[in-house]
Structures are given as C-alpha cells and as structure tokens.
Amino acid sequence: MKLKLVVNRFTIKNIENLSGIKAHTLRIWEQRYNLIVPKRKESNHRFYDNEDLKHILRIAYLYHNGYKISKIAGLKQDELKKLSAGQKNFTSPAALVNQMIEAAIDFDEEQFENILLRAVEMFGFEICITNVVYPYFEKIGMLWLHDSAMPAQEHFASNIIRNKLIVRIDKLKKPENPDRGYTLLFTPEGEYHEIPLLFIYYLLKKNNVPVIYAGTSVSNNVIETLCDSKKIPSLHFHLITNFMNMEPGEYVTDACKRFSNKQIIMSGPVINSVTAMPSNFRMLQSMDDIMAYTQGK
C-alpha cells in the first residue's frame, strides 16, 4: 500500500547522515560528474527533495558495495534504479538501512516489510533489530532532531516495526516465576518512542523475566498505582528525547527517592546527560549492557 507522497527538503548535512557519503565528497561528485544537482531556495541555499535523496541512496548503495563512482556516473537513472534494486547479494546492514529509508519515503509498505523479512532471514531477529532497525531510526531521528524531519515516514515505519515486535512478543512463553516480582517497563511522560522499549520487553520475556508493560508517556501516578497493585521490585524506563518538564538527571533523582525501595533502571541515548548515581539506580549505557541486563547479569 502506498500513501500520498509527502515532499521533504533536506540539507547536504542531512544527505551526508542518511547516505554515509561525506558532504565534501558529494560536492566533488556534483562538480566532477554532475551526479547530484541540488535545488536552490530563493535565498540561493541548496536543498534536496525526496527524489534527490532516493537517487543519492542508490548511488551510496552501489558505492558502498564496491562500484566505482566513475561507473555509477555513467548510468542512466533507470539503469541506476534497476541495478541497485537487483543486487540481492548486498547483505550489509548499511545497505538494508538505505533500502528501508527509500521504501519509507514512498510509504511502500510491501517493500519495507520485504526488506525487514530479508534482514531477519540473513541475521536473525535480534541482530536485525540492533544492526538494521536501530541504525535506521538513528538516521531518521537525526533529521527529526534538526527540524528536517520525515515525521510521516517515521510514524509509518514505526507502526510496521512495532507490529512485528508485538507478534514476536506474543509468541514467547509466559514467564513461569512471577512470584519473584515484575519489572515495570515504561517511558516517562513526554516520551513516545516505543520501539526500544518493546525490544527490551521482548528480551526480558525471552529470558523468563516477568514484565508489566505500561507503555509510553507514563505518569508517576500511574506508576504508583501499579506498584501498589503488584509486586514490582524494578522500574525500567527508556528515554530517547527530553520533552519532560525536568532534566533527565532530575527525573532520576526524583524517581529514586519516590521509589526508594525499588531498583530504578534507565536506558536510552539521553543517559549521557545523567550524572546522578543514587544507590538504587542502574544505567544501561549500551546495547551490550541491555543484553547482559535482560539475561540477568
């Protein structure tokens, strides 16, 4: 299913982040091969649209997989598209990320799902999430944070991946030892990014850890009600953005005091700004940390 195309404008820095080709190199290619010709605003500043991005992603796709730029420059548009689409032997995560971005730009659900399926078949489900899906969202998130977002495409892709994760979670056996207490999974109020939280839910359930999944943008009142209703020794929140009404460090300090008899666990990129280290607080600073934690280490 394809939705109506939303036209986006990208800076050369956006293109660099999405394609993995340095801005300096892109400018050289433009001058030497007339390979990429950006549009210009009335202010004469360059910008690139959806079709430009797809064109550059195809170039990057071939270039990162051994094709010389001089050969790529000699291809016609339809030849470039056909060649990049036909290279099923390109199995690098970076190539798959580029394909996912291109499919998302066009809201091509079938193509997006096919790329995900191919990634799972090649790498397995967990490595697909960590090495393909996460880098995809990192690239899209980079745009989002710099006001050059593809918000419609982000929601489109998130919904597909969210559904895949939920199906995987539902297929796992229910943990057999809930008497030891539950881990409460949530994001704080103002945080709506759910994919990493769902993946942590999947990993915990796979490793027989009882979980109560509270979802996104959860208030302290809801957390307190859940803690009053169930045995919950651990509260785990994941934070990507910082749209709360306090700094992440303040939130950690407050949570550790408010729930002083529980372990407070935090993951997500915003963790880098947290310096507070209460005795009942644990940071998960990397995917390796998350994997070890979900395995009970």
The parts of the chain modelled with pLDDT lower than 50 are 1-5, 142-149
CATH number of 175-294: 3.40.50.280
DSSP, residue by residue, 16-74: HHHH---HHHHHHHHHHH-----EE-TT--EEB-HHHHHHHHHHHHHHTTT--HHHHHT
Q: What is the pTM of this model?
A: 0.80
Q: Where are the domains of the chain?
A: 12-168, 175-294
Tens digits of per-residue pLDDT, 162-203?
999 999 999 999 888 778 899 999 999 988 889 999 999 999
Residue 184 confidence (pLDDT): 97
Residue 141 confidence (pLDDT): 63
Distance of CA 163 to the CA centre of its chain: 14
